[in-house]
Each structure stands twice: as structure tokens, then as C-alpha cells.
Structure 1
Amino acid sequence: MGEQPISSSCGRLSSMLENAKPYLLMVAMQFGSAGMYIITMSSFNRGLSRYVFIVYRNAIAALILAPFAFFVERKVRPEMTFPVFWRIMLLGFLEVVMDQGFAFLGMVHTSATYTSAVLNALPSITFLMAVILRIERVRIKEVWSKAKVIGTVISFGGCVLMALYKGPVLNIFGSSYGNGHNHSTSTDSSSTRDWIVGTVYLFISCVAFSTFYVLQSMVLKIYPAPMSLSCLLCFFGAAQAVGIAVGIEHHSQAWALGWDSRLFAPLYAGIVTTGIMFYVQGEVMRSRGPVFVTAFNPLRMIIVAILALAILGEKLYLGSVIGSVVVVIGLYAVIWGKSREFHGQDCTTETKTEMEIADAQELKQKLPVIIQMPLTAADTHVKIQTLQIITKPCPPGATSV
């Protein structure tokens, strides 16, 4: 008697954890991503080439993911075909070469905090890319569709505001760390920084990453092995990045790693933010879609801002704060519209199904049933060899039974 309530409670707890799983995974992913910003910026300050960093990061990720992908997904991994191969090559180019390359270039021209703030425009750009590729629908008469369109415009306006207006420095925690920071990456050294150019680089990174998100969700439908997909795109992306890095960094000194952040940064980025996060976002994307994955970026921005102030000594500008708030408002307008669209589609589908069932039952009652029973001459009684039911509309003047 007492086992049933316990079993019921365990079932409810298991159901709650299953429903909360995508949210917990995305929150954990933002903490991991925030750490990457701080460690990467520190390694750049110590002289690590961003081109070499991209190669090491993705090569390490491919090596880490390879054994897990081989054994865990060996029964579900589909056969590699040429259409899948060239799509994976394209994903590797978009994420590794374009997104990471321009993101780090923009970070060098701006700061880690500013970069994480600008990348909050990802959901809006993702929505725009999905519309272009006809994955998302725009119905301007619907409230949810208006919210997504307006949110996209607001997010873009926030990015423009951050690029054009810096404003005064905000002294957080009552102390200033910026005086001892490397002048080449300090946010308060306008002579070595072009914020508009840096924002353009970050915007290109956003476009590449948004396109990657949308295409990844499409590739997962024909290649439903997220861990193997992550491993392959890291490998092919690193292979493409090698050509660029070798062409730019000729001397061997640029490829040397030391026992400091120059070694730890590629390891951390390769294992946590490239290997694990690619797999996690692929899993969540299959159930919740690409817009849901990018909805948690504001949390990363807050974590990066706190860590950058405390560890890197970056300055926080009023323009960045105001622009970040505007971008987040636009972000959640897009997310709200996506949520309303999702629930609206569910209700429409359920209503349509109920109406179809009701119509079928009504049609069944109104149509007469004719039973044909072939008889056998061998027996004195009637044997039913086959029973065939034919439905046909009532003839004119007939009475339905």
C-alpha cells in the first residue's frame, strides 16, 4: 500500500527533472562559455595567436569527442554520404573559420564583456536566417509574428547603439583595475581600438553563427548523431583553419604553447566550449529548436561582465550597459513570440484533430452499411466465407438509419 505513493512521487520527480533538463543544460553551458571568454582573452594578452588558438581548440575538441562518438553512437550513426559530407564541411567553415575567427578578431578590437553583449543579438539574427531559409514563418497579422520582427529590429538597434556610443566608465566595486591592464586590449584605450570596426567583425560572427545554428538543425534531421556530427565538424573546421593559420603565422614561435593560459585556454575551449557544448546544444536543439538554444545568452553576458571586471580589469561603459539592455529586450521579444507561436500551433493542431474525428464519426453514422455475404451451395445452412463492408452515400429519397 505504501509503495504506490512513493512510486508516484518518484515518477513526478523524474518527469520534473526531464522537463527541466534542457533549461539546466543551457544554464550550465552559459557558465562554461563565460569561462572561455575570460581564459581566451587572458591567453591573447600573453601573446597567443588567435589563428593558432582556433586550430588547437578544434583539434583538441575532435580528439576528445572521437572515442565517445565512435562507441556511443555506433548503432545510430547513419552512413556517411556525399550530401552529408559537404554539409558538415560547410558547418565547419561557418562555425570554426567564420564565427570563431571574426569573434576573436572583434574581441581583440573591443573587449570580452562587449563581445558577449553583442552576441546577444544571435537569436534575432537566427530568426532572420530561419525566415530566409523558410524554416520560420512570418504572419504579420499575428501578434507572435510581430513580436519576433520587432524584437529583431530592437536587438539590431542595441548593437548599433553600443558601437556608436561608449559613454562614461562605470566604476563597479569601487575600484579600477584598468590601469595595469595591457594597453593593446584595454577597453579605455581608444587610440588602439576601433569599436565600430570591432562591432562589424562581431556582427559577421553573429551572422555566421546564426547560419550555423539553423543549418545544424537541418543536418541533424538527416544525420541524427549529434556527438559524431560535433566531432566531424570540429575536425574539418580545424583542417580548414590550419591553412589560414599557416599562411598568416609563418614562424614556429607562434605555435609554441607554455605552461600557462596559452596551454590551458585551448584545452578548456576544446573540451568544454567546443566539444561538450556542441554536443549539448545539438541535443537541446533537436527538441527545442535553434531559437531556444540562443535564449540564454544574457546570462552569459552577466557572468562575463563580473569576471572581466574582477579578473581582467576591463572597464564597463555606460553605452555598453544601455545597449545590452536594449539587445536583451529585443531578445526576449523574439523568444516570447516564438513561445506564443509554439503554443498556438499546438492548440490549432489539437483542435483540427478533434474536428476531424468528430466529422468522421458523424459521416460513419450517416452512411448506410451494405453487407455482401456470398453463399455456398454445398451446405443447407448459410456459411459466411467473406464479409465485405461497403460504404456508399445515401441515394436520393433514402432514409438514413
Structure 2
Amino acid sequence: MGMGWKVLSDVKPYLAMVLLQVGFAGMYIVAVASLKRGMSHFVLVVYRNLVATAVMAPFALYFERGLRPKMTITIFLKIMGLAFLEPVLDQNLYYMGAKLTSAGFAAALINILPAVTFVLALILRMEKVRLRSLHSQAKIAGTVLTVAGAVLMILYHGPAVQFPWTNGQHHAGSAAAGADAAAWLKGTIMVIAACVAWSCFFVLQSSTLRDYPSELSLTVLICGVGSVMSTGVALVAERANTQAWVIGFDARLFTAVYAGIVCSGVAYYVQGIVSKQRGPVFVTAFNPLCMIITAVMGSIILKEEITLGSVIGAVIIVVGLYFLIWGKSKDKVNQVSDDFIAGSSKGAGELPLTSVTNGNGKQHELGDGKFNGSYVLNVETPATNGNY
């Protein structure tokens, strides 16, 4: 019995991450299917975040009662910035880009997110690079490969790749053939812009969690404020189409509920638990699985065409992603703020602290109360599973 429980405990993180990637892939498929059948992406963003707020609020109220720090003007302004970057900019741009290209293409291109975040951290001087360091060289090489793969996907399509389940099928919604070149290029730019917005969100979220270390409450506030902002945007964008707000018991309602619960609710919880057990690098390593599942499901359900250029570009992006993750996994950051230690937490999107090395060289897990003197905080690359 003891051996069985040990095996189950070892398998659970893997199973959880695989199921989560299936969940994200399913959201990409149902969202693109609904959008291409006429659903407004502005309205989808509003309903999705309303559902996420309603689902997450009870958990935040129960589990973080009495633990939430005092709200200040600075924290509230940061929350407004987070809501604008993620629910308003990121989700709208991603849905628009996926609609103009394809679910599989957008899911593959979104893997440039770690590279975009790395470049942004360099610009903001949050990331240091030593050219003689092997890990720094890996980070640079990974960034270059990721960008090269994205450029290849944009500039080269090539012939369609045939799979056993696609022979003889008519492909609709193909990034290369189903949409005209101008619309496809526009969609690609939107997906890349969504990556930039999500990277900015990622950096700002790390800063906000230091002052407001209540992940569930922060999630509810971001989704709630984002719902209000998205509603304003949708009212302006769809002012001449009041029918866009009407949804019944159909695919549009399913898309909003599914995206809100699975990708904005369950995802935060699962990623947080697995990140505590195995570290955020483990979580990030499963990102390409979502791309593969989305491409296969898109070719079967949406009859999307997969081109040779997309396959080669996706492979290059994945190789670059693992170079970047490996380089980041060995980073060590010197930190001397006790307040930062007390306030840090391993929420989704934050730079989680994995361990502390005291002055005697002995390593302890953060929060075990056994470290003193001088210390070094060991950090790893945070998970980048988009909240799309």
C-alpha cells in the first residue's frame, strides 16, 4: 500500500499538468470555433472574466480571510494596470489573432512568451547576463532560436502536412490558405502583441505580489476590474450590435464558462500546487504539449491545415524554449530584504523562491524558520502558461 501511494504521489504532478494542457488546448479550440461562427471576442472576454470572478471569489473570501493586506492607492493602481494588460489587451488581442490565423498557429506562436519576457527583463535591468557563463549563453541562444522559429513561421508556409485523419478533407480556417495574406499577417502581429502584453503583466504581477501577497484575492481583483474595463471596451466596440451580448445555452455560453473556470480558475490553483511541489520550471516544460494537442485537435475538429513551415518553426521554438528554461533554472539572485522574504509567495506569474542558503552554506526551504545570517535566495523561471 505504501509503495502504491508513493507511485501515485509521484505521478500526480505529471497527470495534473498533462490534463491542464489538454484543458488549455480545448479552450483554444472552442474559443476559435465560437469566434469564427460570429461570437464577439470583446463579449467573450467580458463573460469569461465575470465567470472567473464569480468562481474564484468564494475561495478567496474563505481561504484568505484575515490574511489580505491593506489596500493602498499604489496597489490599486497596479491592479488596474494588471487588469488592463491581461483581460483587456492580452485576451482581446490573442482571440483576434487566433481568429484571423488558426488555433494551432496561435498556440505555437505563443511559445515565444518566455523569450519576450527575458528581453523585457533585460531592458528593465531585472535580468543580468554574463557572456562567459554557460547558462547565460543558453538564455541568449534560446531567445535567438525562439525568435528565429517565430520569424520562420511568419515568412514560410510550405506544403500542407498530411496526417492519417486529414486525408481527403477540405481544410477551412488555414493560416496559410484559408485566410488572405493581409489578414493572416495582421493576426500574427496581434498574437505577438498579446505576448508582449502578457510579459508586461508578468513583470508587474511579480512586483504587485510583493506588496499584496494574497494570490487568490489578487486574481479575483484582476478578473473583477478586468471585467469592468472589458465591459466598457465591448460597449463601445459593439454599440451597433446589441445582439452580440445575447447568448443562450449554446457554444458561446460553453466557451465563456469553460474559459473562465478551467483557464482562469482551475489553472491558477493547479499551477500553484504543482509549482510548490516540483518548481515552476517543471510547469513551464509542459507548454509545448498544449501546442501539439491544439494542432491535432484543430486539424480534426476545425479542419485547420498544418503547413511544413509551422511544424519546423514550432520545433525550433520548442528547442529555444528549453535552452532558455535550462539557462534560467540555475539563476541565483542576491536579496537582503526580510520584508521581501516574508511577503513573497509562489503564485502564478511570480518569481517563486525555492530555497534559502544561510551563511554556513546549509540550504533550507523557504519558511521553515531555520535560516539566519547571510543568505542567497534561489529562484527559478516562473511558469508561463498563458491565461488565455
TM superposition score category, shorter chain reference = 0.7 to 0.9
- Per the alignment, residue 306 of structure 1 pairs with 296
CA distance in 1, matches of 2:273, 2:207: 13
Give the CA deviation at 1:274: 1.3
- Per the alignment, residue 39 of structure 1 pairs with 30
For residues 199-246 of structure 1, give each alpha carbon's deviation from its aligned partner in whole angstroms, at most 9, with x where no partner exists: 211111111112222222332222221111111101111111111111
Tell whether the 8 Å contact from 1:103 to 1:201 is kept in structure 2 after alignment. Answer: yes
- Per the alignment, residue 160 of structure 1 pairs with 151
Give the CA deviation at 1:294: 3.8
Give the CA deviation at 1:277: 1.7
CA distance in 2, matches of 1:277, 1:86: 25
- Per the alignment, residue 199 of structure 2 pairs with 210
Greater fraction of residues in helix:
1
For residues 235-275 of structure 1, give each alpha carbon's deviation from its aligned partner in whole angstroms, at most 9, with x where no partner exists: 11111111111111112111111322111000100111112
Matched, 1:335 2:342: no
Tell whether the 8 Å contact from 2:49 to 2:227 is kept in structure 1 after alignment. Answer: yes
- Per the alignment, residue 217 of structure 2 pairs with 228
Matched, 1:124 2:115: yes
The one-letter amino acid paired with 2:67 is V
The one-letter amino acid paired with 2:205 is Q
Q: 1:26 to 1:283 in 2, by over 3 A?
A: same
- Per the alignment, residue 229 of structure 2 pairs with 240
Matched, 1:100 2:81: no
CA distance in 2, matches of 1:91, 1:289: 24
Tell whether the 8 Å contact from 1:109 to 1:193 is kept in structure 2 after alignment. Answer: no
Matched, 1:171 2:178: no
Give the CA deviation at 1:121: 0.9
CA distance in 2, matches of 1:177, 1:217: 49
Give the CA deviation at 1:30: 1.6
Give the CA deviation at 1:132: 3.0
92-101 vs 166-175, which moves further: 166-175
Tell whether the 8 Å contact from 1:65 to 1:275 is kept in structure 2 after alignment. Answer: yes
Matched, 1:51 2:42: yes
- Per the alignment, residue 338 of structure 2 pairs with none
Tell whether the 8 Å contact from 2:169 to 2:303 is kept in structure 1 after alignment. Answer: yes
CA distance in 1, matches of 2:80, 2:72: 12
CA distance in 1, matches of 2:279, 2:85: 19
SS at match of 1:324: helix
- Per the alignment, residue 314 of structure 2 pairs with 324
Q: 1:237 to 1:315 in 2, by over 3 A?
A: same
The one-letter amino acid paired with 1:195 is W
- Per the alignment, residue 360 of structure 2 pairs with 353
- Which of 41, 60, 69 lines up with 1:69 in the alignment? 60
Tell whether the 8 Å contact from 2:131 to 2:137 is kept in structure 1 after alignment. Answer: yes
- Per the alignment, residue 252 of structure 1 pairs with 242
- Per the alignment, residue 112 of structure 1 pairs with 103
SS at match of 2:286: helix
Q: 1:102 to 1:330 in 2, by over 3 A?
A: same
CA distance in 1, matches of 2:262, 2:59: 15
Q: 1:308 to 1:20 in 2, by over 3 A?
A: same
CA distance in 1, matches of 2:65, 2:311: 47
For residues 305-325 of structure 1, give each alpha carbon's deviation from its aligned partner in whole angstroms, at most 9, with x where no partner exists: 111111111110000000001
- Per the alignment, residue 297 of structure 1 pairs with 287
Matched, 1:85 2:76: yes
SS at match of 1:169: coil
Give the CA deviation at 1:350: 5.5
Normalised TM-score (structure 1): 0.77
Tell whether the 8 Å contact from 1:105 to 1:201 is kept in structure 2 after alignment. Answer: yes
Give the CA deviation at 1:74: 0.6
